[in-house]
Structure 1
Amino acid sequence: MTHARIPNFSQPVPVRSTAPSVAPRRIPVDPRYLNLPNEPVPGEIEAWEAVTPIRPDTAHSRYLRFLDTAGELLAAAFIIGGGMVLTGLATLL
Structure 2
Amino acid sequence: MTHARIPDFSQPVPVCSTASSVALRRIPVDPRYLNLPNEPVPGEIEPWQAVYPVRPDTAHSRSLRFLDTAGDLLAAAFIIGGGIVLTGLATLL
**Structure 2 unaligned spans of 5+:** 1-37
Helix, strand or coil for the counterpart of 1:55?
coil
- Alpha-carbon spacing, 1:52–1:39, altered in 2? closer, same or farther (3 Å): closer
CA distance in structure 2 between the partners assigned to 1:61 and 1:69 by the alignment:
12
In structure 2, the partner of 1:80 is: 80
Identity across matched positions, percent: 80
- Residue 53 of structure 1: how far off its partner (Å): 2.0
Cα distance in 2, alignment partners of residues 73 and 39 from structure 1: 42
- Higher RCO structure, 1 or 2 (CA under 8 Å, sep 6+): 2
My pick for the range that moved more, 44-53 or 77-86, is 44-53
Matching residue of 2:63: 63
Output one character per residue of 1:7-27: Cα deviation in whole Å (capped at 9) or x when no partner: xxxxxxxxxxxxxxxxxxxxx
Cα drift, residue 50 of structure 1:
2.3
**Which aligned segments of 4 or more residues in structure 1 are displaced greater than 4 angstroms?**
none
- Quote the residue 1:89 is aligned against: 89
Q: Which runs of 5+ in 1 are unaligned?
A: 1-37
C-alpha displacement at 1:40, in angstroms? 2.3
The TM-score with structure 2 as length reference comes to 0.51
Give the structure-1-normalised TM-score.
Answer: 0.51
- Tell me, in whole angstroms, the C-alpha distance in 1 between the residues paired with 2:76 and 2:44: 37
State the superposition RMSD in angstroms.
2.5
Amino acid at match of 1:46: I
- Which residue in the other structure is 2:49 paired with? 49
SS at match of 1:88: helix
